[in-house]
Structure 1
Amino acid sequence: MSHLLEFIATGFYVGKFPLAPGTLGTLVGIPIVLLLYLDKKLYLLGTLVLFLLGWISSEYMVNAKREEDPEEVVIDEIVGYLLCFLFVEPTTKTLITAFIVFRVIDIYKPFPVNLFENFPGGLGVMMDDVVGGIITAFVLYLLLQ
């Protein structure tokens, strides 16, 4: 079970890559968005399921690594990126724009994103990216009106 939790938390082990694991994790989100967005209900359900799996697997990794937010955990970036498409459909333009906006928010963690890092354990790992993804969704919606 521990191997499965690590596999999920690290985005199919992509997070173990030593350079830019968060960026690579976000890239893993692109095919997942395209797959889940075949049906809007599937997209919403799949995002919720991945959030719950992310929370559980992140909690495992926080305890196993004894770190607040282990760098190799990228399921939070994947889920955050999925949330970027709450209000717009994934197209080449929105996939690229979402990637850039989400990565900037994830790296700099502006207010109020930074507040959500303070949640304990795996929930704290997930929530700043969830909020970053939701903010990105609003930015995309406003940009593409």
Structure 2
Amino acid sequence: MKRFAPLIGTVLGVGYIRPAPGTWGSLVALPWGWLLHVLGGFPLLILGIIIAFLKGWWATAQMTRGGDDHDPSEIVVDELVGQWIAILPLSYMAWSMGLNILAFWPGWIAAFVLFRFFDILKPGPVGWADRRGDALGVMLDDVIAGVFAALGVLVLGGVYHGVLQ
């Protein structure tokens, strides 16, 4: 079972891509998030987030056990989870209105940029989670960055559709 930890933690090896493995992990999350949405809408994306979080937490704990680095750069399952959280508002809107999720393409760009912004800078609670120094902290900092990015997507969508149009 432990041999599966690197496959999960690195998202099938994406975490080994250099430079910027976290950015690659976030990028690969987008088409996979789209696929989950297309197959089962918003509910399947939520389920995917929960499963990926739990498996990612386990894989991160396995991969960091006994090591000095609590958050090796090749572990990118946390970016996948955070990026999926960042696109949740887009999935919900498309699913609830029966629209093609790709119609919200500016939101996809915003979700990606905002998630990377919060994940890299680690403001406030994102940094707190990262400083925990354990597998849960590795996952939580990206969850919180994803929530911040999702809120940013909502604000930007509201400004664009409510004020600019």
With normalisation by structure 2, the TM-score equals 0.82
| Highest RCO, 1 vs 2 (Cα 8 Å, sep ≥ 6) | 1
- Contact 2:42–2:88 (8 Å) recurs in 1: no
Q: Work out which of the residue numbers 120, 127, 138 in structure 1 matches 2:151.
A: 138
Q: Which residue of 2 aligns with 1:32?
A: 32
- Cα displacement (A) at 1:67: 1.4
Unaligned runs of 5+ in 1: none
Unaligned runs of 5+ in 2: 92-100, 159-165
With normalisation by structure 1, the TM-score equals 0.93
Aligned CA-pair RMSD: 1.4
- Contact 1:97–1:140 (8 Å) recurs in 2: yes
What amino acid does structure 1 have at the position aligned with 2:6?
E
Q: Which residue of 2 aligns with 1:107?
A: 120
Q: Which residue of 2 aligns with 1:42?
A: 44
1:48-104: CA deviations, max 9, x gaps?
001101100011111164411111000000000000123223532111111111111
How many residue pairs were aligned? 145
Aligned pairs (5 A) from 1:1-145: 1-38=1-38, 39-63=41-65, 65-89=67-91, 90=101, 91-145=104-158
Deviates more, 1:70-79 or 1:59-68: 59-68
Distance 2:4 2:105 in 1: 32
- Contact 1:119–1:127 (8 Å) recurs in 2: no
Deviates more, 1:48-57 or 1:112-121: 112-121
